[in-house]
Structure 1
Amino acid sequence: MRQPDFIIIGAMKCATSSLHEQLARQPGIFMTDPKEPDFFSDDQHYARGWGWYCSLFAAAAPGDLCGESSTHYTKLPTYPQTVGRMHASLPEIKLVYIMRHPIERLVSQYAHEWSVGAIAADTDINVAVLKHPELVAYSRYSYQLQPYRDTLGRDRILPVFFERLLSAPQDELTRICHFLDYRGTPTWADLDAQNVSKERWRRTPLRQFLLDNPLLTELRRRLVPKTWRNRVRRSWTLKTQPKLDPQVIIDLESLFDADLEILGEWLGLSLTCSTFKETARTAVPNWVT
């Protein structure tokens, strides 16, 4: 049975989907569909068994590098058994972990969770930070990485900065493929940008049915005036970019700076919320301790 050679483990809202697609386009690399099997994290998927998981890689050609991308794998404390399960089955697995400015990642996750209904429609982001502590936890990168470093070892983990992946995509793709022992010459493809506004649409089963049904879509276009359709669409959408209150930002920066200090020591970089974006755009992160 085929099994993965590497896994993109997160973080959520840090371009893991883009990297997954870029790797899938390289000859000799096979990436799973679905992108996120969540096998080691989610009990219901883990219960399907090792055979089910390996079947996701069955279509890979002989000699292909095989990979998957599950951001649930770095969602402590939500999925506490992930690292132990992974180490038991794949002790030599290679891991790629992408990190983004922690507050910007948090805001992006809030918009996503709001759109899928995981956060109530009337819950402001400043309230959500208190009611949904996972928004903060998933941005604590050293906290998420520590169990992997302790169990699998730092040399099996490639740290990647989201900001550098955007500013130097070809260089970062080459670095990632080198870490994966890819023998080809990787090429970053220019892909159509996803419609970011859709991230702010609040989805419900009824709305998804109405939007995804081709017949209903055609009927809407023919029978419903565009001005009325736009009015309905606005009622389903976050009206403005979620905005954190100044005091909430101060509190978050204090918490994240403590986590970034540990991460910075590991990488030999000075990392704080105020310096993160500039450092991440230019620095190539590698473990020093």
Structure 2
Amino acid sequence: MAEGRLKRVAKRWVAPWRPRLMPDLLVIGAQKAGTSALFDMLVKHPAIVPPARKELGFFSDDTAYARGWSHYLQQLPLRPLRGRGWRTLDATPSYLAHPRAAERIRHHLPDVRLVAVLRDPVKRAYSDWNMFRQLQDHPVNAHLHDPRSFEEAMQQELTMPLERTHYLQRGCYAPQLERYIGLFPKDRLLLFTYPNFKKDPEGVVRAILEHMGLEMPRFDAPLREVRSNVRPYAEGIAPDMEERLRVFYAPHLAQLADLLGGMPDLDERSGH
């Protein structure tokens, strides 16, 4: 018993002086594009030590960022006492859309590697709305509940300046990616699409691990069995509203194609 207490005291005494693991990888977005499942898959790797939670949010939360770098460090895992080659990551999908996140990341983590998963912006908006729609009885986030129907929310946002919208602007990927492309070397950013991730999660995870300098391990169960934040939808998008949204996003997708040198395969209209 005394030996156990001594070990616990020693651990508490040593912990403040142990170095923290710096993120080797940031999953920057997009929101509602499978980043929770991707995080859960990546942290199955034996060399990856997960942070306190999936979304640390430091670079896209102005209040958290104002608390300083030490606030972020406290949320990162301690470097294990034994072994080498340990890694960690931060998967906060709001980093992609936040106007200052890329600059902040470049300042603090200039050598970090980045991953973004892009989703059909119409489906992304609908999934995002569904998440906020279901927060009514949430013990912490009930104040974020969106009582509007999807059509009501979109009708309002389609008449607003884009920068003031919640759902629509997050699907305008070109200016979001431009901020990162302008600040980081081209080979530092990996881009995937949500349909590609759904079809071949093992291939996406393998590519990301290689991006981090890690080998693909043998997992206990197939990665496609990982399910994170999966919510059933009571109904689909009304066809006329879907068409209006596709007309709205058409020039934004053309801008994305110009930026990337071709249109990524975002089509998932066969399902939600």
Q: TM-score normalized by structure 2? A: 0.76
Partner of residue 257, structure 1: 250
Q: After superposition, what is the alpha-carbon deviation per residue over 1:179-233, rounded to whole angstroms, capped at 9, x for unaligned?
A: 2221453645354535744x66xxxxxxxxxxxxxxxxxxxxxxxxxxxxxxxxx
Cα separation, 2, equivalents of 1:24 and 1:98: 17
Given candidates 105, 111, 116, the residue that maps to 1:86 is 105
Contact 2:201 2:224 in 1 (8 A): no
Partner of residue 215, structure 1: none
Cα separation, 1, equivalents of 2:119 and 2:173: 9
Structure 1 residue runs of 5 or longer lacking an equivalent are 201-239, 279-289
CA pair 90-110 structure 1, distance change in 2 beyond 3 A: same
Contact 1:114 1:120 in 2 (8 A): yes
Question: Following TM superposition, by how much is the alpha carbon of 1:39 offset from its aligned partner in structure 2, in angstroms?
Answer: 0.3
User: Secondary structure at 1:13's aligned position in 2?
Assistant: coil
Count of paired positions: 231
Given candidates 259, 262, 266, the residue that maps to 1:269 is 262
Q: After superposition, what is the alpha-carbon deviation per residue over 1:250-282, rounded to whole angstroms, capped at 9, x for unaligned?
A: 3321232222223223444345xxx7327xxxx
Cα separation, 2, equivalents of 1:130 and 1:4: 40
1:97 counterpart letter in structure 2: A
Contact 1:6 1:68 in 2 (8 A): yes
Matches within 5 A, 1:128-167: 128-132=153-157, 133-167=165-199
User: Secondary structure at 2:42's aligned position in 1?
Assistant: helix
Contact 1:14 1:105 in 2 (8 A): yes
Given candidates 86, 91, 95, the residue that maps to 1:73 is 95
Cα separation, 1, equivalents of 2:200 and 2:65: 36
Given candidates 97, 113, 125, the residue that maps to 2:116 is 97
Structure 2 residue runs of 5 or longer lacking an equivalent are 1-18, 137-143, 158-164
Contact 1:177 1:186 in 2 (8 A): no
CA pair 186-13 structure 1, distance change in 2 beyond 3 A: farther
Question: Following TM superposition, by how much is the alpha carbon of 1:50 offset from its aligned partner in structure 2, in angstroms?
Answer: 1.3
1:148 counterpart letter in structure 2: Y
Matches within 5 A, 1:1-289: 1=19, 2-61=21-80, 62-75=84-97, 79-117=98-136, 118-121=144-147, 123-132=148-157, 133-185=165-217, 187=219, 189-191=223-225, 193=227, 196-197=230-231, 240-246=234-240, 248-270=241-263, 276-277=266-267
Q: TM-score normalized by structure 1? A: 0.72
Identical-pair percentage: 24
Question: Following TM superposition, by how much is the alpha carbon of 1:128 offset from its aligned partner in structure 2, in angstroms?
Answer: 0.6
Cα separation, 2, equivalents of 1:147 and 1:59: 31
Question: Following TM superposition, by how much is the alpha carbon of 1:100 offset from its aligned partner in structure 2, in angstroms?
Answer: 1.2
User: Secondary structure at 1:27's aligned position in 2?
Assistant: coil
